[in-house]
């Protein structure tokens, strides 16, 4: 039956080997000794190391049966609690407090504000010597030699 505890020496060795393989792959790749296709085996070995480590930590069939039995017993306890809780709340229930009546606060009206008379706008007329659009060339002054 495999051991599910994490051995720190095994974990440290796995990390060191993985980092060393990735560093070696990177150095060889930067120096031009390998290309993308030849770097794939390095990554495959690193992924395989982590996969084997994870597979060894997986529970055995007998451990899976124990886990299933524990989960079933927890479900039974939860269902029993769900049956008991409504009875407890009915026995120890408190009356609902009444809502207080709302209080209205009357504020005094603000003093009247004097409104200034409206400002009269003056019409703006454009000087006749400036063209109003691209098509309006009749008002452009000409240069006299």
pLDDT in tens, 13-42: 999 999 999 999 999 999 999 998 999 999
Task: Please report, for residues 2, 58, 78, the alpha-carbon distance to residue 5 in angstroms, rounded to integers and kept in the order given.
Answer: 9, 10, 29
pLDDT in tens, 46-91: 999 999 888 888 888 888 888 888 998 888 888 888 877 776 666 5
For the chain, the structural domain boundaries read 1-58, 60-95
Total-model pTM:
0.42
């Amino acid at each position: 039956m495999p051991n599910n505890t994490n051995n720190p020496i095994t974990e440290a060795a796995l990390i060191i080997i993985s980092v060393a393989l990735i560093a070696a792959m990177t150095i060889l790749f930067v120096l031009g000794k390998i290309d993308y296709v030849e770097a794939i085996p390095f990554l495959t070995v690193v992924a395989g190391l982590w996969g084997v480590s994870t597979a060894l930590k997986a529970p055995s069939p007998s451990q899976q049966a124990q886990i299933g039995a524990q989960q079933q017993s927890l479900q039974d306890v939860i269902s029993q609690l769900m049956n008991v809780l409504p009875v407890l709340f009915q026995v120890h229930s408190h009356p609902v407090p009444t809502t207080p009546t709302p209080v209205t606060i009357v504020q005094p009206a603000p003093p009247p504000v004097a409104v200034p008379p409206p400002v009269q706008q003056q019409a703006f007329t454009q000087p006749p010597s400036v063209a109003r659009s691209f098509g309006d060339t009749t008002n452009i002054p000409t240069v006299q030699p």
